[in-house]
Amino acid sequence: MKIPLSQCCRCISTSRSLNKKVIPNNAKNKGVSSQLWLKRQLSDPYVEKAKQMNYRCRSAFKLVEINEKYKILLPGQTVIDVGAAPGSWTQVAVKEVNSKSDPVSTLERVGKVISIDRQNIYPIEGAVILSGMDFTEPKNQTNLKNELGGTKAHVVMSDMAPRASGIREMDNENMMKLCYSALRFAVQVSEVGATFLVKLWQCGQSKQLETDISRFYNNVKFVKPQSSRNDSAEVFILGRSFKGLKLS
């Protein structure tokens, strides 16, 4: 019997190791917030599992869980990963859509993954990487469209987040700007039936974003993977079955 990967992740450590208090040796000279972050990292089973599976960071398992439940990534699909650094979602997408294979030597359909981030992303076999490019700039969205080569995307997914200022209202507003930027792009490049996945922070504007996504996608819902930390305000909106744009 095949056990889902997300279930395996929840069982990777014994109860003893999961409950063990981890005290990092190099935390002495760090600030309080840095010490708390370091302790959390060292106690997090997903961090260790990411290392074991060669994922660049633990966020890979959020996409793994969503995909296991909703089957949004399939062989042969074209996927655009927005805010991709350091590349863990791209790694998952490459595997699931089979973009690393040679189309001549495989029986499965071969997909395509295009990833963009303003930060540098080290190359990932099977993915087209657009590093050092701010997705929100129109010229860089044009570069993305050029990489599509006239085809349409099956999945547009965004893990973007703004640099936190510490002012909640401002941070929420900036996050929403990124979400709507990803949505506007997705409806331009997606084929009918496509999927849109976007990260946001739970706030007063969340419901309005859900409503706006529903204008373009038939099935819309909030998703909170188990690998998303309990103390995190992040949540994802998943839009499936893109309706397409009606041109007047």
The 10s digit of each residue's pLDDT in 180-193 is 999 999 999 999 99
Where helices occur in the chain by DSSP H, the ranges are: 5-10, 15-19, 32-43, 45-52, 60-70, 88-97, 138-148, 168-189, 206-214
Domain assignment of residue 53, yes or no: no
Q: What total of structural domains would you count in the chain?
A: 1
Identify the domain containing residue 218 by its residue range. Answer: 59-242
Asked whether 99 and 111 are in contact (CB, 8 A), the reply is: yes
User: How far is it, in rounded angstroms, from Cα 239 to Cα 155?
Assistant: 10
Q: In the block, which residue shows the tokens 């071969």?
A: 110
- pLDDT above 90 (res 103): no
129: domain CATH number is: 3.40.50.150
Which pLDDT belongs to residue 165?
A: 87
Which pLDDT belongs to residue 233?
A: 86
> How many C-beta atoms lie closer than 10 Å to residue 120's C-beta?
10
Instruction: Label the pairing between strands 153-158 and 190-201.
Output: parallel
Angle between helices 60-70 and 88-97 (to 10 degrees): 30
User: How far is it, in rounded angstroms, from Cα 115 to Cα 196?
Assistant: 15
Domain assignment of residue 189, yes or no: yes
- pLDDT above 70 (res 76): yes
Q: Which residues, including other chains, have CB under 8 Å from residue 80's CB and lie 6 or more apart?
A: 113, 114, 115, 116, 144, 153, 155, 156, 157, 186, 189
> Across residues 187-205, what is the average pLDDT?
95
Asked whether 50 and 58 are in contact (CB, 8 A), the reply is: yes
Domain assignment of residue 141, yes or no: yes
Domain assignment of residue 150, yes or no: yes
> How many C-beta atoms lie closer than 10 Å to residue 74's C-beta?
17
Domain assignment of residue 50, yes or no: no
User: pTM of the predicted model, to two decimals?
Assistant: 0.81
State phi, psi for 191 to the nearest 5 degrees: -85, 160
Domain assignment of residue 83, yes or no: yes
Active site residue 199: yes
Domain assignment of residue 1, yes or no: no
* Catalytic residue selected from 49, 62, 112, 199: 199
> Across residues 103-123, what is the average pLDDT?
90
Asked whether 227 and 46 are in contact (CB, 8 A), the reply is: yes
Which pLDDT belongs to residue 61?
A: 92
Asked whether 82 and 160 are in contact (CB, 8 A), the reply is: yes
Q: In the block, which residue shows the tokens 């966020």?
A: 59
> Across residues 15-40, what is the average pLDDT?
45
**127 DSSP 8-state letter:** E
Domain assignment of residue 95, yes or no: yes
SS3 106: coil
